[in-house]
Amino acid sequence: GFKVLKSEIEIGPVYHRLPERIRAHASICFMALILHRVMRSRLKAADVGYTPERALEQLQRIQHHRVRLNGGEPVTGV
């Protein structure tokens, strides 16, 4: 898990002094690791041939737009 956090998820070292901040940081890192592993297992089960990193690259390309022409109703789309 530590290797994934440092390389694939790219969580760098953060230095905290207060116990509640240390716990919060550890919780966020743990959630990121769990999400990464769930995503990896679901991609493997779907047999799409994507790694979590590749899937996130593809997802970053999706855009959502909202356009209003001549004061009319807004039109939204992906």
Could you give phi then psi for residue 36, rounded to 5 degrees?
Answer: -60, -45
11: DSSP letter: P
Cα–Cα distance for residue pair 67/30, rounded to 1 Å: 39
Greatest CA separation for the chain: 55
Cβ neighbours of 31 (radius 10 Å): 10
The answer to whether the pTM exceeds 0.75 is: no
4-39, pLDDT tens digit by residue?
A: 766 666 676 778 888 898 888 888 888 988 999 999
**Beta-bridge partner residues of 65:** 77
Cα 11 to chain centroid, rounded? 12
